[in-house]
Chains A and B, each alone.
Chain A
Amino acid sequence: MTTPNLTIDLCGIKLSNPTVLPSGFLGTSKSLLKRVADNGAGAATIKSVSFEAREGHKNPTVIPFEAGMLNAVGYSNPGAEETAREFANIEDVSIPVIASIIGTEAGDFVRVVDKLSETQFSAIELPLSCPHTPGFGLLAGQGTPESTKDIVSAVRKATKLPIFVKLSPNIPEIWNLAKSAEDAGANAITAVNTLGPGMIINIEARKPVLSYKVGGVSGQALRPIATRCVYDIYEAVKIPIIGTGGISTGRHAIEMIMAGATAIGVGTGIYQRGIDIFRKICREMEIWMSENNFNSIEELIGIAHE
């Protein structure tokens, strides 16, 4: 039996396998993206960039718990100009790299896109869905069909690159947002961002552990919700979906693809299984696919709907 083919075509971008590093994990430098590529990821996303530099929230910003992780980093980033410098010659990284861009108003996103216009990113991702940073995502009112359309339309005019829109699992009718994004010219949906926010209190200290008190929930706790979101979005749009949320094994990845994802995000799992989790997941997918007579990812996408 031949080894199953894990390659995918994500709106014209060729990936050697469906695993994608989501924004906010390790994406601070080109050197780390190279390492992620060396460990088998199919594509990688940089840490979200705003026009101006941001220091983010105080520590603790990330805290694991028994069913995943809680984070409120607060979008620390060196700003668009520094980011353009850090990721100049991004073609040195052997896999496609996605630029995650944040802003408050549509015009802010466009200003960042313009600053990055000389860099060789493969796609632009717009996380309109962060649950814990004032001025951004849900706290800037970006989780509505109107705001989604407004921002995606503006960025559509500013770039020819594929646009991915990252949505929040908090929105009950998430497929409406996906539809708005598609109508405004988005090329893919990333589903989902972290859930919540949630809170963990240290009962001896009698205080929330995160300095920002609340943070987005990722990992195992999020996975069934993410899978349902992807399932719903798949029925509503034609553009591909990057299914993200709690995936840490090949079985999880296949489940997400069956729900309708073309690619899958792997973030919190890095903490649980190490940076080589991308290679581990691919190997597990290959074994399962061989045993179950699947030759390609394409044969699996959305089959839970049949």
Chain B
Amino acid sequence: MNEGFEQPVMMKIDKIIDESDDTKSFMFRHNLDYNPGQFIMVWLPGIDEKPFAISSFGEDFFGFTVLARGNFTKLLHNMKQGEQIGIRGPFGHGFSIPDSIKDGTGSACIIGGGCGMASLTVLIEKLQDYNTTILIGATTKTKLLFKNRYKDITLFTDDGSEGRNGYPTDILEDLHKKHKYNIIYTCGPEIMMYKVYEFCRKYNIQCEASLERYMKCGIGICGQCVCDGQMVCKDGPVFDSQALGKMSDFGSCSLLKSGQRVSLKEYGEWIGC
């Protein structure tokens, strides 16, 4: 059985942080039994419930970050400090940290794209004192999340408005020659994660990617978030190279709310990201 909260627990918003023009973080003074990469289900009573990554975490607090893109997220953005939100979880299987990283003999790379960065922040905090390269990409300057939280990061924008012009994957080959990565972690647009996965496969590097699929139960029984026999909510959202290699839907297909399997492009248009 899952640890944590099976049913939503109402928690008071302790603080709201503006991360960019369309992104806010919601902070709570609450203890959570959580591993980086896991997610929570956020409930607005009587409205809807959706999964979010934990983007801040400490002994007596946590927070999650929300990009305003649909009705639910816009309602969240209108909430004020002191109001209550329902939280259940955390759920799923998070990132793993190999011994070679913990003992300092190896090195890691973390690649975040767009709002996918929200799934990587706590991992970055855990790994920033080790040999870790951090690459953050976004379409444009205003979409670069958490760029001021960390030192020694490399930024990329599709339009060149800040950092390097292009994608984090552009310089992976050079970085790997220098750092000899043991593991690369990624979360962001699936097309980017797929490129990272292919790069890792070519150079025999362990890869861990955090996938996004429309979810219902969050506890591995309904089958809505299936990705080739794997339930993203329970077996994932983080999958390693071995699991990703068996998922033909990775980088290609996802299920709409009805369960219809469509291309990631069509899925992306529906989910509004």
Contacts and interface: CB of A to CB of B under 8 A. Distances in A.
Interface in B211-236: 215-224, 226, 228-229, 231
Contact of A32 (B10, B223, B256, B258): B223
B106 interface: no
A264 to B, nearest CB: 17
A139 B262 CA distance: 31
A29 B260 CA distance: 10
A31 B260 contact: no
Contacts of A88: none
A272 B229 CA distance: 19
B166 interface: no
A79 B8 CA distance: 31
Contacts of B226: 26, 28-29, 31-32
A184 interface: no
Interface residues of B, number: 37
A31 B47 CA distance: 32
B48 A211 contact: yes
B224 to A, nearest CB: 6
Interface string A133-160: 0000000000000000000000000000
Contacts of B240: none
A178 B247 CA distance: 43
Contact of A271 (B84, B221, B257): B221
A271 B45 contact: no
Contacts of A28: 222-224, 226, 255, 259
Interface string A120-142: 00000000000000000000000
Contacts of B229: 29, 31-32, 34-35
A207 B46 contact: yes
Nearest to B227: A31
A260 to B, nearest CB: 27
Interface string A22-39: 001111110110110000
A25 B260 CA distance: 16
A204 interface: yes
A252 interface: no
Nearest to A49: B259
Contacts of A206: 45
Main secondary structure, interface of B, reads loop
B221 A202 contact: no
B195 interface: no
A104 interface: no
B198 interface: no
Contact count band on A: 35 or more
Interface in B142-171: none
Interface in B21-52: 41, 43, 45-50
Interface string A12-56: 000000000000111111011011000000000001000001111
Contacts of A77: 258-259
A86 B226 CA distance: 13
Given A32-B229, A202-B10, A211-B46, A61 B260 contact: no
A5 interface: no
Interface in B60-114: 84, 86
A275 B220 contact: yes
Interface string A265-276: 001101110010
Interface in A51-75: 53-56, 58-65, 73
Best-surrounded residue of A25, A64, A275 (most CB of chain B within 10 A)? A64
A73 B222 contact: yes
Best-surrounded residue of A60, A209, A272 (most CB of chain B within 10 A)? A60
Nearest to B46: A207
A31 B228 contact: yes
Given A34-B229, A64-B6, A211-B49, 7 more contacts: A26-B223, A35-B229, A62-B217, A62-B219, A79-B260, A202-B10, A271-B219
Closest 7 CB pairs of A and B: A28-B223, A204-B10, A78-B260, A31-B229, A59-B49, A205-B45, A62-B217
Interface of B: 1, 6-10, 41, 43, 45-50, 84, 86, 215-224, 226, 228-229, 231, 255-261
23 contacts: A24-B222, A25-B222, A28-B226, A31-B229, A32-B229, A55-B258, A56-B257, A59-B50, A59-B215, A59-B216, A60-B43, A61-B216, A61-B222, A62-B216, A64-B6, A65-B7, A73-B222, A77-B259, A209-B8, A209-B43, A211-B49, A267-B221, A272-B1
